Structure 1
Amino acid sequence: MALAALARKIFGSPSDRQVKRYQGKVAAINALEPELAKLSDEQLRARTQEFKAQLAQGASLDDLIVPAFATVREASKRVLGMRHFDVQLIGGMVLNDRAIAEMRTGEGKTLVATLAVYLNALTGNGVHVVTVNDYLARRDAGWMGQIYNFLGLSYGIIVHGLNDQERRDAYAADITYGTNNEFGFDYLRDNMKYARNQMVQRGHAYAIVDEVDSILIDEARTPLIISGPSEDRSELYIKVDSLMPIIGEDDFELDEKLRAATFTDQGVEKLEAAMTEAGLLKSGSMYDVENVMLVHHANSALRAHKLFRKDKDYIVRNDEVVIIDEFSGRMMPGRRYSEGLHQALEAKERVKIQAENQTLASITFQNYFRLYKKLAGMTGTALTEAEEFADIYSLGVITIPTNLPVQRIDEDDAIYRTAAEKFDAIAELIKECQLRGQPVLVGTTSIEKSEMLADLLRQKNVGQMNVLNARHHEQEAFIVADAGLPGAITIATNMAGRGTDIQLGGNLEMRIEKEAAGLEGAERDAKIAEIKAVIAEEKKKALAAGGLMVIGTERHESRRIDNQLRGRSGRQGDPGHSKFYLSLQDDLMRIFPVDSMDSMLGKLGLEQGESITHPWVTKAIERAQGKVESRNFDIRKNILKYDDVMNDQRKVIFEQRLEFMDAEDVSETITDMRHDVVANVVAKAIPPRSYPEQWNSEELEIAAKTQLNVAVPVREWAKEEGIDAEIVEDRIREAADALIANKEERFSANIMRQVEKSILLQSVDGLWREHLVMLDHLSKVVGWRGIAQRDPLTEYKQEAYELFQGLLGNLREQVTSQMAHVEIQMRQPEPPPAPDFSRMAETHIDPLTGENDADGDEITSPEGLPPIDPKLLVGVSRNAPCPCGSGKKFKHCHGAFA
């Protein structure tokens, strides 16, 4: 380690060497500044068309970096009054070079993105800027969009609640801002539609991911899932939940690292007896095949009661269980845990139980963002995860130097024996800071702990404070904006991706928005001048008191999360302090114990209220965090290996769908499928080199009628002299082809082409959905193959391949059978309508821990159809009358996409 540090001191880090390579272009950009300053607005705007013309004539984007970046800087000065610093120009070059720009909080990442966004938007292929929430997408687009519009480029915004046309328009713009969830869900929805003109996205050329560590690391285990309603089992959830009070400490085992809970043998016996008494278990063991559903419900109820805590993992609001995002501390309204866990929590909390959902389409963020031909990212904390970014996404991490030297003092951790001692010490430090007028930001890991600390401070008569957590999500931006006022105390559940700077003395933009709203002209100017004067005075006081004090109430599993909290202090050269307080009762110390820490504290003979503070201790804790990060990386890598198997199959299916949608005529494909089916049914009934008396002629006749809708006298043919399997196959093929030819003659080739495409696309979708369910079940059980000394991943690949082969075989049979039996009504042919997404839910699920978040919207009737209770739709036959009373068949009414 000492040698590595010495080498870095002499030769510089890889980031330092890369930054030096950019300095020449920075100097060239600066040299153009006086020349561009002389141009009129029209002349500056005209440069955009000049750049596009140069690209059309064969120039590369790298050739245009210097003039394009200089143009954006000049436009920013005129439109926003903001001039890019030299280090921001370097950040823009890093983003253009398919890498991650690590820039400290307050260094202006939002402005940095405009450089690479403008340059890459010149190609006309579209640029996606990905943020972590709708607020940031709207704010950044509206703010930076002024530069793009000034330079003649268009921008759009993708947020929740837009209709398809609004989304299509936003994606058609040169630059599109949106959240990671919306981009991913749009991709999945597009691949469920039946015509190219119904799709909204137009490709994946270039994306810049803001807070890239949060999206590509923290949420990488979290697939995006679109699901539809399945059978309602509310009563069963309530009955199983009522049995949970009998489960004692010896009846189950917890693994907090994996967020898993399992029954012991004693617990299973106790639960079986209770289920039998309650009439749930009719016969045999809980683990018999017919009782598998009970096992699923019991496991969900156990996890809901023993692993998931109210006000930490979720809150109850308006008679609903609302998930709290573990990474950002925000509420996730409309998102739901899957696999019955959310229903189990609803039963536990005695609120209305919503129906479960069935997976219709799915993709992980890892595989979605690898769709982009060019990907880049920016964040304040990425270096600790550089190996993962390089391994999974082929993204390098370049640390950009700060515009001004960092003056923040990061103190060593203070470790106490108990949590009570730790929080008492934190409260005393907060009182001291408030007395001297120093603003304080306290980071906690849960709502429960933030409110407990707030109560403790009130007991100690500490003055006004703001608590920022999921309960106060609406006031978030204003609470953060005021956190830099002298003596302000802000307690935050998590500071990742908040999007609003903590500026000493207050945030000018937020103050203007709050205090000058509705004012115009001279009155507004006077108010703004007054606000500026107040902020300048308040900033002096905060600086004199030492700048922002950041206090961490415990360490997170990841060093990045701690660094995100620390990074809120010391922005743009301001002074500041940070210190973490820990106890042996903290989750990290308890679940991932630091070797010999307890014995070390014991030998020191610490008295009540005393702590140990030493650089070695801080280093030991960081090493423990490094081990946890490595373990989590291995988990994500392993999950990706499994998801890559599905991803390869997904690509095949989605690409095939696009080919079918774009093709004017799929009759050749349909014919090939039909001929394959004929060959298969003949091969099953007629063994190779067999005599006619050995044929299963009756089975072949039945199969021909069932799958091909043709009556063939195979038993009669078998009596003919010289007959063989090839002749039989030719005759059946001719009969099947004649049937389709007759339909085409009766209904016209145009109508048959539409029918063929419709049946083909809907068959692909239906079988793909069933395949997803099969792969999901396979991934959950294949791990047990390890007991038999077989590699689970190899087994999964083999069986997934066989399932996919089965899917293709089923597709041939289903399409052939439907084409043979379909009855066509004469009317103007139309492509199938897009699926009704109002009947579907969007889910964001963690396959490892089960911490899933899904769209919990209730089923609504398609436009133009009468409303109906979703329970009435369960189990209705496709050809039965629709329960809504419309008089139509279910498949032509509410069951159109059920």
Structure 2
Amino acid sequence: AHLVTVNDYLARRDAGWMGQIYHYLGLSTGFIAHDVSALYDPSYVDPRANQEDERLVHMRPCSRRQAYEADITYGTNNEFGFDYLRDNMATDPSQLVQRELHYAIIDEVDNILIDEARTPLIISGPAEAPSDEYRRFAQLVRRLKRNTAGEDEPPNGDFDIDERTKSITLTELGIARVEEMLPEIDVEAGESLYDPQYYELTHYLENALKAQYIFHRDKDYIVKDGEVIIVDEFTGRLMPGRRWSDGLHQAVEAKEGVQVQRENVTMATITLQNYFRMYHKLAGMTGTAKTEEDEFARIYGLEVVVIPTNKPVIRVDHADQVYRTMNGKFMAVVREIEEMHKIGRPVLVGTTSVETSEYLSNLLKRRGIKHQVLNAKYHTREAAVVAQAGRPGAVTIATNMAGRGTDILLGGNPEGLAAHLVEERCFDRRDLERLAGLVVSDQVDKAREMVRHHQGMTVDLIDHLQQLRRQYEAALQEVDRVGVAAYLAKQLQEKHSVDWDVGRQVVRALSDGSLDLARRLLEDHPQAEAIVAETHAQMLDLMRYRAARESGRNLSDFLAEKLYERHYNARAALVRAVLSNRLDRARQIVEETPALPASLIDEIQAVKEQCERDKQKVIELGGLHIVGTERHEARRIDNQLRGRAGRQGDPGSSRFYLSLEDELMRRFGGDRVKGIMERVGLDEDVPIEHGMIDRTIENAQEKVEGYNFDIRKHLVEYDDVVNKQREAIYRKRRAILEGKIDLDEEVKSYFRDEIAGLLDRYLVNYEEWMKQQIDQAVDTFTSPTSDEVNVEGVLRRLRGILPEVDGLDSAMLAELDSRELRRELEPLIEESIEHENPLRLLSREAQRIVGLLPRMPQLGTGQLSAAIREAAREAFISETHEAFSEFTGGYLDQATADEIWSDLVEAIDAAFDQVAVANLSAAQQRRQQQTLVESLRAAVNEALVRAWSHLSEDQIEAIIHSRLDDMLEGWRQAIGDEDLKTFERWFMLATIDDQWRQYLTAMDDLRQGITLEAFGQRDPLVEFKRRGFAMFSELQENIHRSVVYNFFAQLPNHQAWVQAQRAAAEMRQRAAMSEYELEQRRSGGFTVRREMPKVGRNDPCPCGSGKKYKQCHGRPKKQAAAATSGGRSRGRRRRRRR
């Protein structure tokens, strides 16, 4: 089962929280996040954990696959989805991590399946470098102005914005103005911005308009450290690493003047709807799904069941107050906050954007009201802010608090407040770094002086720093004596009972960066992942310490970091112990930890008691008060914000303040209410409460919900088309990856189909095929509006397959329309057949597939003599005779074969006779070589065409198949059967991935323009399905063709790679036998170095056994050497014994 949550923290926390129960029930619990995976293990304590929560420390690191093999796996929706996509991009079965998708239980199910479902999951890779056009169009659109004229009036601006759909379109005035500003468009010649040749310009223009006028800084994104970072519209959190697609992100970067990043190309994609619909069973939980039950039923087939609350809800939800202007609304909000603040009630103010939260913060500052701001800019302070949001008199402004998932405790959060107290009482990291600097430089007296003047430090900190340094110095001395592999292998042997030889191999693998190999070496050990992680961290620490000591820099920082980690964990453990009334454990922590005062125990208890008193006070005042500054698009989000108050039977209240200038009211139905308020003559600071207004607001939200539902439904309908194709491609891919397909037979079937298609095209249905090519060329280069034909484009397209077009008068053809041009071109097909052009095309394709021609001679650029030329001639004639025998297949009668061969030899001799042996420059020799190759290739091709003109279709097919079988068998002998299968699997997967990537890009382009079909009275979805089916058929053909035409071209590269891998493996094996290890050089090749100092036969064994080296780990190698050294050395030993 997969437990799906909204963020990594909740996934880890809940796995550790519930893992205890599952463990007692005999179930295993896994956890996955972006860069970590772990299993719940109550006996394991993460040595690197620095979290304050006990639920987070028992997660033992493991491989991704092990986390998925657990009975229950926790993670986020994005991680599960991306792992599915990555599994379907894997090139080796060992890279697969997920099992079959069986049961998913989703926390905050409405947030994941509805709010986030509008954005598909996309794995992308870098495309071409970013264009300068983004900056050009960013400057251009700044000169445009918005149209403010009514629908029936002529436009007075350049563009219109539809607030409801957040779309932007140019007016006729705007189109004319843009065309004037673009010098490449010749308006006088009748050119338009929307001509096909300017398609790319419209792409840049549309993105620039959206970036400038639809997407707003501090609302949709922020700019931080020269980077545009998206703000999640539902949670208000930053989304680093996420980027808008289709060039929109680049347009926003150009607008803000930061560096424009490289564009991306989609490599794999899936919508959340289609991902979660693949599970056999699906369920979820949330507090706000009732308003969306129709969508859950229609898209996911899920029923919404309302479960009564644990305790009755006593929160008071006051009626909305609506003001005419934004200013009037915020004045009322400030008055409300001020009144609550005076009596001591905590207030949570919900905003919908960073911009609004900062505006309101400035208003409160002018009134002298102390408050905290929580938004995307200050997200790192979230825990501290929320911890105090329930304290008496606290005022907290939060952007999209609804999605933040943290309870606000009345009276304050004692754990958060206690952690803040401990941080104030103890030293910080910078102070410890300064102290460590004095210790490292042997200025101990100054260090003691510093400690005496610092309230948070004690003298025993100096002792601990010195002890820590001695520990690392002793470790490095031992490493220098026996080597890092032997040292760490001994540690593994003592701590985890790992065999010493295995330990050394593990360390060697980690040194080479091969963590997978290290895991495989320890696969039988129950704590393999934890051991690998611990050993790797230990090795890196030794390397860091050595580097810091040798450079004389950063040594103090290193020691301070290590000691601070221990101290931080002790602080967190102290807080947990006191708050859970384990005072004996708290005293033990204080005694064991330097500079952790015992007085903290009483102070933490006082914080706990104060929180209890404050809680009672806040309850008496009415609990937490919620102030909403704007209605959200969805009623669910408003209900979530209200739900921050009145948790678990606590008292509370809420009120929303709205204005007719709010985005929701502007977009949906505010004009009617605005007209009534203006007729009544209400001032901006006078609210109105009326049933009609409540109904208007609810109707507006229902409209937005319906609109957003249509977007999600639209998305899933279109993705359903790609989804069926994705499933087919991924099934095929998985079968290849897991070896469920006979790859030899699969590859041969591709070749057979392609060869059969070529024979049918060129020998059976050539006339029909050529007519299709003429029709396609004419259609491609004919204007749909004027029926004018680009004749040069047509001739250029056909010249390679119909060379007879060169004899036509292009000036005469330019006078013809498309039908007349077709009639003029079709008679050339008969001429082409008479000239045996079909056979030439067939031989050309066969040569590309199976290489029928002999290798062309390379005379080089050195001094050329007559002897060298004659030797090259003889060698080429010999190879050509062998090739001639192959491509005739013994089917020609002897007289015909002899005639063709004689003419071919004559042509070869003539070509070589043109090769001059006089002194030539390098350039002249290159031109001569090129001329020779062209002459020889033409001669052999002509002989091939003549020979095949005497053969039947079946005989030609047999010849090509025979050549294919010979080539496959030759490569099998050259690189081995296993390596050939490896190549077949890799190459087929790479081909599928490459073609699928191109297909996704083409489908994206199709989808963006398919809505135009509606103007032709055609259903865009039906057209998308029809064209998508045709494109998918073409995709499968392209996969087969790409395999066929590139298979033998790629094999030499694979052969070179196999040979290099074998050579490296042999060198590593020899080095390992001699107790050496390899370091790969950047420039290529390897450097051999010892992994540990040379050990004498009578020296103690580095493994720590106490035996002599010759009687311990030195003996097997000596025996092995003796066994392979031959009788001579054995004879010498016998002579010594005598």
Asked if these proteins are the same fold (TM beyond 0.5), I'd say yes
For residue 480 of structure 1, the aligned residue among 378, 381, 386 is 386
Correspondences of 1:85-164 after superposition (within 5 Å) = 127-162=1-36
Match of 1:641 in 2: 717
Q: Distance in 2 between matches of 1:689 and 1:682?
A: 9
**In the alignment, structure 1 residue 702 sits paired with structure 2 residue 608:** no
For residue 1004 of structure 2, the aligned residue among 764, 776, 797 is 776
**In the alignment, structure 1 residue 554 sits paired with structure 2 residue 640:** no
Match of 2:863 in 1: none
Q: Distance in 1 between matches of 2:261 and 2:85?
A: 24
Q: Distance in 1 between matches of 2:132 and 2:1058?
A: 45
Against the structure 1 CA distance between its residues 165 and 806, is the aligned structure 2 distance closer, same or farther, given a 3 Å change threshold? Answer: farther
Match of 1:894 in 2: none
Against the structure 1 CA distance between its residues 198 and 719, is the aligned structure 2 distance closer, same or farther, given a 3 Å change threshold? Answer: closer
Against the structure 1 CA distance between its residues 157 and 282, is the aligned structure 2 distance closer, same or farther, given a 3 Å change threshold? Answer: farther
Against the structure 1 CA distance between its residues 831 and 215, is the aligned structure 2 distance closer, same or farther, given a 3 Å change threshold? Answer: farther
**Structure 1 stretches lacking a partner, 5+ long:** 1-126, 833-862, 867-884, 888-898
**Alpha carbons 1:194, 1:831 under 8 Å: kept:** no
Against the structure 1 CA distance between its residues 441 and 796, is the aligned structure 2 distance closer, same or farther, given a 3 Å change threshold? Answer: same
Opposite residue 705 of structure 1, the aligned amino acid is Q
Q: 3-state SS of the aligned residue for 1:293?
A: helix
Against the structure 1 CA distance between its residues 165 and 736, is the aligned structure 2 distance closer, same or farther, given a 3 Å change threshold? Answer: farther
Q: 3-state SS of the aligned residue for 2:344?
A: coil
Percent identity (aligned): 46
**Alpha carbons 2:231, 2:376 under 8 Å: kept:** yes
Cα displacement string for residues 32-67 of structure 1 (whole angstroms, at most 9, x for unaligned residues)? xxxxxxxxxxxxxxxxxxxxxxxxxxxxxxxxxxxx
- Following superposition, the deviation at residue 638 of structure 1 comes to 1.4
**In the alignment, structure 1 residue 298 sits paired with structure 2 residue 205:** yes
For residue 735 of structure 2, the aligned residue among 659, 665, 669 is 659
**Alpha carbons 1:165, 1:200 under 8 Å: kept:** no
**Alpha carbons 1:128, 1:175 under 8 Å: kept:** yes
- Following superposition, the deviation at residue 172 of structure 1 comes to 2.9
- Following superposition, the deviation at residue 215 of structure 1 comes to 1.1
Q: Distance in 1 between matches of 2:1081 and 2:87?
A: 24
Q: Distance in 2 between matches of 1:567 and 1:638?
A: 31
**Alpha carbons 2:6, 2:107 under 8 Å: kept:** yes
**Alpha carbons 1:181, 1:224 under 8 Å: kept:** yes
Q: 3-state SS of the aligned residue for 1:443?
A: strand
- Following superposition, the deviation at residue 567 of structure 1 comes to 0.6
- Following superposition, the deviation at residue 759 of structure 1 comes to 1.2
**Alpha carbons 1:411, 1:578 under 8 Å: kept:** yes
Q: Distance in 2 between matches of 1:570 and 1:586?
A: 27
Cα displacement string for residues 577-604 of structure 1 (whole angstroms, at most 9, x for unaligned residues)? 1111111101011011157322332444
For residue 219 of structure 1, the aligned residue among 98, 116, 119 is 116
**In the alignment, structure 1 residue 677 sits paired with structure 2 residue 754:** yes
Q: Distance in 2 between matches of 1:610 and 1:269?
A: 46
Moved more, 809-818 or 507-516: 507-516
Q: Distance in 1 between matches of 2:670 and 2:346?
A: 32
Q: Distance in 2 between matches of 1:822 and 1:608?
A: 75
Q: Distance in 1 between matches of 2:399 and 2:272?
A: 25
Against the structure 1 CA distance between its residues 634 and 240, is the aligned structure 2 distance closer, same or farther, given a 3 Å change threshold? Answer: closer
Q: Distance in 1 between matches of 2:349 and 2:838?
A: 79
Q: Distance in 2 between matches of 1:689 and 1:188?
A: 43
Moved more, 596-605 or 663-672: 596-605
Q: Distance in 2 between matches of 1:560 and 1:332?
A: 22
For residue 398 of structure 2, the aligned residue among 492, 517, 526 is 492
- Following superposition, the deviation at residue 655 of structure 1 comes to 1.2
For residue 443 of structure 1, the aligned residue among 332, 350, 358 is 350
Q: 3-state SS of the aligned residue for 2:215?
A: coil
**Alpha carbons 1:508, 1:532 under 8 Å: kept:** yes
Q: Distance in 1 between matches of 2:407 and 2:1059?
A: 53
- Following superposition, the deviation at residue 809 of structure 1 comes to 0.7
**Alpha carbons 1:758, 1:831 under 8 Å: kept:** no
**Structure 2 stretches lacking a partner, 5+ long:** 38-60, 147-156, 423-570, 575-584, 588-597, 768-829, 854-886, 889-943, 1062-1078, 1086-1138
Match of 1:346 in 2: 253
Q: 3-state SS of the aligned residue for 1:596?
A: helix
Opposite residue 258 of structure 1, the aligned amino acid is T
Moved more, 621-630 or 745-754: 745-754
Q: Distance in 1 between matches of 2:280 and 2:723?
A: 17
Q: 3-state SS of the aligned residue for 2:200?
A: helix
Largest Rg, 1 or 2 = 2
Q: 3-state SS of the aligned residue for 1:335?
A: coil
Q: Distance in 1 between matches of 2:130 and 2:5?
A: 37
Q: 3-state SS of the aligned residue for 2:304?
A: strand
Correspondences of 1:564-713 after superposition (within 5 Å) = 564-594=640-670, 596-663=672-739, 665-688=742-765, 696-710=838-852, 712=887
**In the alignment, structure 1 residue 406 sits paired with structure 2 residue 548:** no
Cα displacement string for residues 150-207 of structure 1 (whole angstroms, at most 9, x for unaligned residues)? 4443333222233897423322333222222222112111211111111222232222
Q: Distance in 2 between matches of 1:748 and 1:299?
A: 55
Q: Distance in 2 between matches of 1:729 and 1:436?
A: 95
For residue 239 of structure 1, the aligned residue among 136, 139, 145 is 136
Opposite residue 407 of structure 1, the aligned amino acid is I
Against the structure 1 CA distance between its residues 655 and 421, is the aligned structure 2 distance closer, same or farther, given a 3 Å change threshold? Answer: same
Opposite residue 469 of structure 1, the aligned amino acid is N
**In the alignment, structure 1 residue 521 sits paired with structure 2 residue 586:** yes
For residue 425 of structure 1, the aligned residue among 332, 357, 360 is 332
**Alpha carbons 1:566, 1:578 under 8 Å: kept:** yes
Opposite residue 679 of structure 1, the aligned amino acid is A
Moved more, 445-454 or 664-673: 664-673
**Alpha carbons 1:316, 1:322 under 8 Å: kept:** yes
**In the alignment, structure 1 residue 464 sits paired with structure 2 residue 370:** yes
Q: Distance in 2 between matches of 1:527 and 1:401?
A: 40
Match of 1:846 in 2: none
Against the structure 1 CA distance between its residues 660 and 539, is the aligned structure 2 distance closer, same or farther, given a 3 Å change threshold? Answer: same
Q: Distance in 1 between matches of 2:5 and 2:403?
A: 9
For residue 616 of structure 2, the aligned residue among 526, 537, 540 is 540
Q: Distance in 1 between matches of 2:107 and 2:189?
A: 54
Alignment RMSD (CA, Å): 3.0
Match of 1:801 in 2: 1029
- Following superposition, the deviation at residue 573 of structure 1 comes to 1.0
**In the alignment, structure 1 residue 177 sits paired with structure 2 residue 74:** yes
Relative contact order (C-alpha < 8 Å, sep 6+): which is higher? 1
Cα displacement string for residues 285-343 of structure 1 (whole angstroms, at most 9, x for unaligned residues)? 44344433222222221111111111111111111111111111111122222222222
Match of 1:312 in 2: 219
**Alpha carbons 1:230, 1:357 under 8 Å: kept:** yes
Correspondences of 1:311-330 after superposition (within 5 Å) = 311-330=218-237
Opposite residue 112 of structure 2, the aligned amino acid is I
How many residues are paired up?
Answer: 710
**Alpha carbons 2:668, 2:703 under 8 Å: kept:** no
- Following superposition, the deviation at residue 724 of structure 1 comes to 5.0
Against the structure 1 CA distance between its residues 818 and 268, is the aligned structure 2 distance closer, same or farther, given a 3 Å change threshold? Answer: same
Q: Distance in 2 between matches of 1:545 and 1:490?
A: 17
Cα displacement string for residues 797-838 of structure 1 (whole angstroms, at most 9, x for unaligned residues)? 111111111111111111112224344465795999xxxxxx
Higher helix share: 2
Q: Distance in 1 between matches of 2:158 and 2:675?
A: 32
TM-score, with structure 1 as normaliser? 0.74
Q: 3-state SS of the aligned residue for 1:246?
A: coil
**Alpha carbons 2:168, 2:209 under 8 Å: kept:** yes
Match of 2:965 in 1: 737
Q: Distance in 1 between matches of 2:359 and 2:34?
A: 34
Moved more, 323-332 or 343-352: 343-352
Q: Distance in 2 between matches of 1:510 and 1:175?
A: 30
**Alpha carbons 1:195, 1:831 under 8 Å: kept:** no
- Following superposition, the deviation at residue 359 of structure 1 comes to 1.0
**Alpha carbons 2:364, 2:370 under 8 Å: kept:** no
Q: 3-state SS of the aligned residue for 1:676?
A: helix
Q: Distance in 2 between matches of 1:710 and 1:635?
A: 55
Moved more, 378-387 or 255-264: 255-264
Match of 1:167 in 2: 64
Against the structure 1 CA distance between its residues 679 and 282, is the aligned structure 2 distance closer, same or farther, given a 3 Å change threshold? Answer: farther
